[in-house]
Amino acid sequence: MALTSRLAVIAGGIGGIGCATGKALRSQGAALALLYAPFEAQKVKATISEVYGGAKSINSYECDITSPNSVSSAFAAIAKHNVAFPSILVNAAGYVSLNALEESPPDEILSHYMINLFGPTLTGQAFARMFMRAKQEAKADSVPGGRIVNIASQAAHVALHHHGAYCASKAGLVGLTKCMASEWGPKGITANSVSPGPVWTELGKKAWADRKAREAYQAAVPTGNFAEPGEVARIVLFLCQDQALNINGTDITLDGGYTVR
């Protein structure tokens, strides 16, 4: 299996895309460290049991990705458990709420920037430090390459109605990904982003709850479809494998062609 002996850390690990990604990475032998927010604690056990059949090898860590202390503690715990070589980080936590741009409350704007941009910055830093330390300690030429995959959005590339703060946060995440790729590529870590159109998860349902808006959107997409979480997960899985060695700093859109029109 392509990812045997590798540990994948997934922020947003019990969310819709996070679960699909965890299953895909695990199917290729990766050990998992799922990060969940403190306010999700009650759903962790049931979600892991439902998605992974209660497998004992799935480790989960409480981590509010917007808090530097919480991120440090979670990554320290992951390093201490030392389950497998920490070679993959997937940033799949996220936040959306729709507001007219001129009326967006400051705390709502800040939630987008904190969860969708500041959070992946902190987890990226913590992961990069953990990877570099583990590589140094392993002293082997054969350590696996590092992989960061940030789940951005088509909203990084196009204005979506009433998605102002979300669009800005995701455009920032694509920019951050390029800098991760540039600075950490020479240190053995590639970084890429995936930009899906709407996916029918809890977050997707929140953004596209309005039936008329949803139908108008679907009529405008060349394929006419929302994406499935598994589609996103398959791209993440490909980017995490050795064969994707030279894909670095790019963004893969998965939007049914919406942004080409």
* Cβ at position 253, least distance to ligand NAP in Å: 10
Site for ligand NAP contains 167 (CB under 6 A): no
Stretch that binds ligand NAP, among 22-30, 71-79, 191-199, 214-222 (CB under 6 A): 191-199
SS3 content of the chain, % helix, strand, coil (to 5): 55, 20, 30
Strand ranges for the chain from DSSP E: 6-11, 31-36, 58-62, 85-91, 146-151, 189-196, 251-254
Stretch that binds ligand NAP, among 58-66, 126-134, 211-219, 242-250 (CB under 6 A): 58-66
**Exactly one of 36, 95, 166, 258 is catalytic; which is it?**
166
Contacts of 64 (CB under 8 A, 6+ apart): 37, 38, 70, 71
Report the residue number whose CB is nearest to ligand NAP.
15
Site for ligand NAP contains 172 (CB under 6 A): no
Residue closer to ligand NAP by CB (options 14, 30) is 14
What's the rounded Cα separation, in Å, for the pair 55 and 33?
Answer: 13
Site for ligand NAP contains 199 (CB under 6 A): yes
Q: In what order do the strands lie in the sheet with 146-151?
A: 58-62, 31-36, 6-11, 85-91, 146-151, 189-196, 251-254
Site for ligand NAP contains 74 (CB under 6 A): no
- Hey, which residues does 11 pair with through a beta bridge? 35, 91
Site for ligand NAP contains 115 (CB under 6 A): yes
Residue closer to ligand NAP by CB (options 42, 136) is 42
Q: Looking at 66, 123, 190, 192, which residue binds ligand NAP (CB under 6 A)?
A: 66
| Active site (annotated) includes residue 166 | yes
CA–CA distance from 129 to each of 30, 70, 86, 125 (Å)? 20, 16, 10, 6
Site for ligand NAP contains 153 (CB under 6 A): yes
Question: What secondary structure letter does DSSP report for 226?
Answer: P
- Residues within the interface to ligand NAP (CB under 6 A): 12, 14-18, 37, 39-40, 64-66, 92-95, 115, 119, 151, 153, 196, 198-199, 201-204, 207
